């Protein structure tokens, strides 16, 4: 067994690609589309220390139509992976190691983090900001790098947002080494880069997400980045600088970099936003916030990403664009992550969000799903079957859905004990299990997933 927690147990990678019918599935006829999850899954034995963020991107997908399903898994054929396949071995080290002499680049852009459906393509995106890699659905074949007719100036970070009403894609990108350290951009419904503005942030940091409203985009400038003292000593380590401001920025969707209104908030880091909306003069953001990302003490029941403790709380910031005031409220203390909403109305004020509840395990996995009523700040719990753990949930609207939560919560659950995974479908209103469809093999808990309707 590997010494690294994200190569063990529910995170153990699979060894190859796959395509198979899902047998014994009793799926609803009004569930039509593809559930796709991006997962780090190293193709070759890692060189040195392994971090969960290092593995090559592999997409696991369950495509559902006429109450039948097909499971597929394909590695994302990034330039870095292609070079390693040609060499027949790993060429890149991960983020916990120094690059090896002769490596094609300091780090491999694996596109292993999020999936965004835009302009008829599934874009696989990387947490450290990389080249989007376009995939076809339902085949999962790699189409290739997506640079929007060559206009993308540098990279795109993992969490880009699509406004289903306009079809526009809002994104950010960042660099830890070269200015500008942060840019914000918009791509049209048909794939033209409309803008890409440099944003004045405090320095090189590791932002992870944004949020959109119909008129604005919320940017997160939070002080998580390389530990500068460790970097000077030749070590790569993540640091959280509590003395440096934590800020939220609100920019008009098509605005200039100079138009950002900044709001200083209590020190925190947030991997993921839940939602943002406009309310009179206010822009409101809800996110999963970690107050003490790098605690001096750790216990084995706190999920860790190397040195980062994953103890997020559901928090709401109300930012008044007229007065510059910001109000902070913690809606719930239950540690939850990987929030998703009904993506058909992303950017509008939503009532419901769907999260994974953190299991008290060293590596991140979910022992329950939570459905939040964001208007009330309350949640209902769907327990994952005992001995099984869930990855990120997605919301799949029923065909001809009548309301925001008229549909299904879909995800993959896995059990090492049973050496199995299942496609789990839960009625999003009653929270009753609709079906547990066995997949042909156990697949690892991964990163982000999406539901693509009708494809
Ligand atoms: Fe993420």
Res. 212: pLDDT tops 80? yes
Q: Ligand 1 mean position to 228 CA, how many Å?
A: 24
* DSSP notation for 265-319: ESS-EEEEEEEEEEETTEEEEEEEEES-SS-SS--TTS-EETTEE---EEEEEEE
Q: Is the pLDDT of residue 364 over 70?
A: yes
Q: Looking at the predicted structure, is the pLDDT value of residue 255 above 60?
A: yes
Distance from the CA of 305 to the center of ligand 1, in angstroms?
12
pLDDT digit string, tens, across residues 330-362: 999 999 999 999 999 998 999 999 999 999 888
What does the pLDDT read at residue 1?
56
For residue 387, what are its two tokens?
A: 């001995």
**Which residues, at least 6 apart from 171, have a Cβ–Cβ distance to it below 8 Å?**
156, 157, 160, 161, 184, 185, 186, 187, 210
Q: What is the share, in percent, of the chain residues with pLDDT greater than 90?
A: 82
Given a cut of 70, whether residue 138 has pLDDT beyond it is: yes
Q: What is the pLDDT of residue 362?
A: 82
Predicted pLDDT at 159: 98
Ligand 1 geometric centre to CA of 338 (Å): 7
Model confidence over 39-61: pLDDT tens digits? 999 999 999 999 889 999 999 99
Which residue in 374, 333, 376 sits closest to 352, CA to CA? 374
- Listed residue (217, 129, 144) closest to 181, CA to CA: 129
**In angstroms, what is the span from residue 114 Cα to ligand 1's centroid?**
7
Q: Give the pLDDT mean for 30-45.
A: 97
The CATH number covering residue 184 comes to: 2.120.10.30
Average pLDDT over residues 204-229: 93
- In terms of Cα–Cα distance, which of 120, 126, 170 is closest to 143? 120
Q: How far is the CA of 124 from the centre of ligand 1 (A)?
A: 12
Q: Give residue 290 CA to ligand 1 midpoint distance, Å.
A: 14
Average pLDDT value for the chain? 94
Number of domains in the chain: 1
Once rounded to an integer, what is the mean pLDDT over residues 295-306? 77
| Distance from residue 9's CA to the centre of ligand 1 (Å) | 21
Q: Identify the residue whose tokens are 């869930």.
A: 390
**What pLDDT score does 420 carry?**
96
Give the range among 1-15, 295-309, 364-378, 388-402 with minimum mean pLDDT: 295-309
Residues in the chain: 455
Per-residue pLDDT band for 209 (boundaries 50, 70, 90) equals very high
Residue span of the structural domain in which 219 resides: 5-453
State the distance from the centre of ligand 1 to the C-alpha of 113, rounded, in angstroms: 6
Distance of CA 158 from the midpoint of ligand 1 (Å): 7
* DSSP-based three-state secondary structure for 411: strand
């Amino acid at each position: 067994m590997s010494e690294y927690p994200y190569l063990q147990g529910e995170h153990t990678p699979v060894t190859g690609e796959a395509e198979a019918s899902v047998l014994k599935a009793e799926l609803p006829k009004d569930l039509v589309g593809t559930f796709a999850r991006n997962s780090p899954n190293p193709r070759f034995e890692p060189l040195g220390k392994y971090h969960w963020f290092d593995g090559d991107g592999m997409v696991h997908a369950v495509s559902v139509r006429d109450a039948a399903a097909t499971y597929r898994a394909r590695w994302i054929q990034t330039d870095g992976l292609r070079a390693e396949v040609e060499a027949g071995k790993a060429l890149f080290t991960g983020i916990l190691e120094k690059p090896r002499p002769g490596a094609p680049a300091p780090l491999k852009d694996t596109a292993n983090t999020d999936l965004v459906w835009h302009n008829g393509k599934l874009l696989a995106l990387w947490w450290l900001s990389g080249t989007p890699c376009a995939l076809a659905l339902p085949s999962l074949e790699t189409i290739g790098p997506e640079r929007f007719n060559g206009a993308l100036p540098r990279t795109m970070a993992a969490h880009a947002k699509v406004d289903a009403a306009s079809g526009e894609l809002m994104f950010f990108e960042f660099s830890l080494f070269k200015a500008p350290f942060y840019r914000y951009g918009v791509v049209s419904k048909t794939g033209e880069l409309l803008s890409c503005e440099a944003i004045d942030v405090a320095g090189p940091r590791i932002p992870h997400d944004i949020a959109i409203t119909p008129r604005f985009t919320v940017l997160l400038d939070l002080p998580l980045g390389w530990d500068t003292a460790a970097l000077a000593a030749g070590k790569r380590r993540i640091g959280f600088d509590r003395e440096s401001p934590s800020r939220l920025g609100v920019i008009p969707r098509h605005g200039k970099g100079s138009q950002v209104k900044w709001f200083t908030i209590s020190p925190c880091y947030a991997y993921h936003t839940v939602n943002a909306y406009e309310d009179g003069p206010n822009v409101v953001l809800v996110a999963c916030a970690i107050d003490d990302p790098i605690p001096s003490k750790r216990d084995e029941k706190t999920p860790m990403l190397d040195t980062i403790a994953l103890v997020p709380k559901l928090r709401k910031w109300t930012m008044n664009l007229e007065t510059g005031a910001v109000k902070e409220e913690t809606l719930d203390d239950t540690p939850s992550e990987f929030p998703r909403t009904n993506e058909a109305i992303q950017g509008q004020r939503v009532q419901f969000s769907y999260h994974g509840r953190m299991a008290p395990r060293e590596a991140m996995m979910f022992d329950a799903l939570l459905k939040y009523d964001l208007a009330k700040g309350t949640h209902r719990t769907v327990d994952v079957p005992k001995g099984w753990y869930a990855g990120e949930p997605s919301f799949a609207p029923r065909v001809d859905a009548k309301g925001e939560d008229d549909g299904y919560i879909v995800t993959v659950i896995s059990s090492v004990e049973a050496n199995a995974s299942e496609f789990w479908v839960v009625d999003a209103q009653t929270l009753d299990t609709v079906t547990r469809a066995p997949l042909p093999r156990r697949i690892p808990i991964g990163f982000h997933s999406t539901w693509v309707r009708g494809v």
